[in-house]
Chain A
Amino acid sequence: MTDYPVLGKKDTRSGFGDGLYELGQQNEDVVAMCADLTGSLKMGAFKEAFPDRFFQAGIAEANMIGMAAGMTIGGKIPYTGTFANFSTSRVYDQIRQSVAYSDKNVKICASHAGLTLGEDGATHQVLEDIGMMKMLPNMCVINPCDYNQTKAATLAIADYEGPVYLRFGRPSVPIFIPEDMPFEIGKGIMLSEGTDVTIVATGHLVWKALEAAKELEAKGISAEVINIHTIKPLDEEIILNSVMKTRCIVTAEEHQINGGLGESISSLLCRTIPTPQEFVAVDDTFGESGTPAELMTKYGLDTVDIISACEAVMMRK
């Protein structure tokens, strides 16, 4: 299989912060808004460099989303920053009416998504955000997998006209996507070709999918690993081409099964090429306090879980 050397370790939110700062230098229309989490979102560099284009919204997320929608009128490209749960469930109606239905060019940037937020517990560990966002017409949903991809995505969405939900996280994770790999919205990435089973992963689970594929290879199983960073619009072609070859699929994500990437893929496959599928995702439960590693293990989102899902799904071919 294709080898991806670890280039370092960083949090994906830093990819957002660094991307935003770079974007600020490139594009004068980019403005940033934050609801009292500038440090957590790594928006400090942008704030320092472009104080006139940075808006501190305070702990008032609904107003922030509404203002962002308003700021697009006159050509600005607002990037809003707060935790993923406050970026979605807390402001769902504001996003639905003022951003999605009104088709405004707002980039909703959401950090600390999923279980890997860790010790703060379930109040903050949103595992439903992909589902909420992908259900909204006009909304593009992106969940990058490492620092480099998050930075590239942050830059790329400025050139995309329309509402975007960009989801990233808190923990430090391996960097393995080459810095110069282009980021194309809506295009999946074939990370490693294989013939026995397809693994489609998004976000923090992509690295684990590569680890799983390596261990499966040692067992004589050839796994194809696809990174879907854009959950909506979904790259149907790359998935269908793969399952035509492997005839079974495992989806892996730090999200509920309900509403997640796996569900989008199930919906695609049942309408096109009905295919056995296993889900590595959270199964209709809330998270809890713990270290990110402990939580990923307890809720079944580890490399070993992907391996057993692959073995199980291959039996169902």
Chain B
Amino acid sequence: MADIKELESIASQVRRDIVRMVHANNSGHPGGSLGCVEYFVTLYFEIMNHKANDFDMDGFDEDLFFLSNGHISPVWYSTLAHSGYFEKNELATFRKLNSRLQGHPATEEGLEGIRIASGSLGQGLSVGLGAAMTKKLNGEDSLVYTLHGDGELQEGQIWEAAMYGAANKVDNIIATVDYNGRQIDGDVEDIMSLGDLEGKWRAFGWEVFTEDNGNDMQSVINAMNKAKSLTGKGKPVMVLLRTEMGQGVDYMTGTHKWHGSAPNDEQLTTALDQLEETLGDYVMA
């Protein structure tokens, strides 16, 4: 088990990468990315059994991860780079012409770590279920992880997948919702309330629990380990992970406004002052 301090130090660097990547393009989605840092670092450095240095599209005998809310690609790209999937300096190409780091994750350019395109919301749970079913057919006991935005749950396909997963006992998948309560137009509660979200997943037949401290590393580790312990029991598993959009940069929290906006030069400096450089910043191209 990794040392918490070590994971927190990785998280700080990932947060620096996120704000620098989005700032460099004056485009991208920093808010949700910052809020999910603990989840990504936990998943890639503590929870998943995965082959960072030997990426293979089929992913035999390793756990798989699918990002359904593809717009938070900066946090994924930074985590993948620090895990060893590709050189961290490639982060400087994010959203640039001819880059493998597309605005939303894609497979076409062959970026290691990405197994499906995402961005158009609502599709990742179905993809995750399919990959989990293939793992069962192949006789593997590896797990499939997916991440979704809470606003994304307004998409109907999510509930088709929810129904299928429970009805067919796909119990080797752990889905997580980034439950930050915000979406691009405002608070989820105001745009289209999700109501009793835990109750909904339970009614759909999922094993579900809420973790209130989604930005506390130890809490996230505990939650994901708990989720793992619930797999293999005839039900798919859902973790509702309460996070704070913009976590780590004070002026980006408490609002939906940094869902899809980039900081200017001054705001970048303010943000970086709050985030310790731990593993070394990637070099600007």
B126 touches A66 (CB 8 A): yes
A69 partner residues in chain B, CB cutoff 8 A: 116, 126-127, 130
Contact of B137 among A31, A58, A104 (CB under 8 A): A31
Contact of B133 among A58, A71, A96, A104 (CB under 8 A): A71
> Which of B9-17, B44-52, B57-65 binds A?
B57-65
Instruction: Report the bound CA distance from A55 to B161 in whole Å.
Output: 13
B111-126: CB near A (< 8 Å → 1, else 0) gives 0000111111011111
B60 partner residues in chain A, CB cutoff 8 A: 74-75
A71 touches B126 (CB 8 A): no
Contact of A62 among B64, B124, B160 (CB under 8 A): B160
- Residue B107 is within 8 A (CB to CB) of chain A in the complex: yes
- Residue A57 is within 8 A (CB to CB) of chain B in the complex: yes
In the assembled complex, the CB of B64 is this many whole angstroms from the nearest CB of chain A, namely: 7
In the assembled complex, the CB of B118 is this many whole angstroms from the nearest CB of chain A, namely: 7
B137 touches A52 (CB 8 A): yes
Question: Assuming the A-B contacts A62-B157, A98-B123, are A67 and B133 also in contact, with contact meaning beta carbons closer than 8 angstroms in the complex?
Answer: yes
A73-115: CB near B (< 8 Å → 1, else 0) gives 1111010000000000000011011100111100000000000
In the assembled complex, the CB of A144 is this many whole angstroms from the nearest CB of chain B, namely: 27
A46-63: CB near B (< 8 Å → 1, else 0) gives 000000110101101011
A97 touches B117 (CB 8 A): yes
Instruction: Report the bound CA distance from A103 to B116 in whole Å.
Output: 9
A62 touches B134 (CB 8 A): no
- Residue B156 is within 8 A (CB to CB) of chain A in the complex: yes
Instruction: Report the bound CA distance from A104 to B57 in whole Å.
Output: 11
Residue in A70, A71, A73 whose Cβ sees the most chain B Cβ within 10 Å: A70
- Residue A65 is within 8 A (CB to CB) of chain B in the complex: yes
B117 partner residues in chain A, CB cutoff 8 A: 97-98, 101-102
- Residue A68 is within 8 A (CB to CB) of chain B in the complex: yes
Instruction: Report the bound CA distance from A66 to B162 in whole Å.
Output: 13
Which residues in chain B, 64-111, are within 8 Å of chain A measured between CB atoms?
A: 64, 66, 106-108
A70 touches B137 (CB 8 A): no
Contact of A63 among B66, B115, B132, B160 (CB under 8 A): B160
Q: Which residue of A lies closest to B128 (CB)?
A: A70
Contact of A94 among B58, B108, B123 (CB under 8 A): B123
Question: Assuming the A-B contacts A97-B123, A101-B106, are A71 and B157 also in contact, with contact meaning beta carbons closer than 8 angstroms in the complex?
Answer: no
Residues of chain A at interface, number, CB under 8 A: 32
A68 partner residues in chain B, CB cutoff 8 A: 130
Q: Which residue of A lies closest to B106 (CB)?
A: A101
Which residues in chain B, 144-171, are within 8 Å of chain A measured between CB atoms?
A: 156-157, 160-161, 163-164, 167-168
B58 partner residues in chain A, CB cutoff 8 A: 73-75
B116 partner residues in chain A, CB cutoff 8 A: 69-70, 73, 98, 102, 104
A98 partner residues in chain B, CB cutoff 8 A: 116-117, 123, 126-127
- Residue B135 is within 8 A (CB to CB) of chain A in the complex: yes
B127 touches A74 (CB 8 A): no
B131 touches A70 (CB 8 A): yes
A74 touches B108 (CB 8 A): no
- Residue B129 is within 8 A (CB to CB) of chain A in the complex: yes
Residue in B130, B132, B138 whose Cβ sees the most chain A Cβ within 10 Å: B130
Instruction: Report the bound CA distance from A55 to B163 in whole Å.
Output: 14
B135 touches A74 (CB 8 A): yes
Known contacts A69-B130, A75-B138, then 20 further A-B pairs from the complex at CB < 8 Å, ordered by chain A residue: A57-B164, A62-B160, A66-B123, A66-B126, A66-B127, A66-B161, A68-B130, A70-B134, A73-B57, A73-B58, A73-B131, A76-B137, A93-B120, A94-B126, A94-B157, A97-B123, A98-B126, A98-B127, A101-B107, A104-B116
- List the 4 shortest-distance A-B pairs measured between CB atoms, nearest first: A70-B130, A66-B126, A67-B130, A74-B134
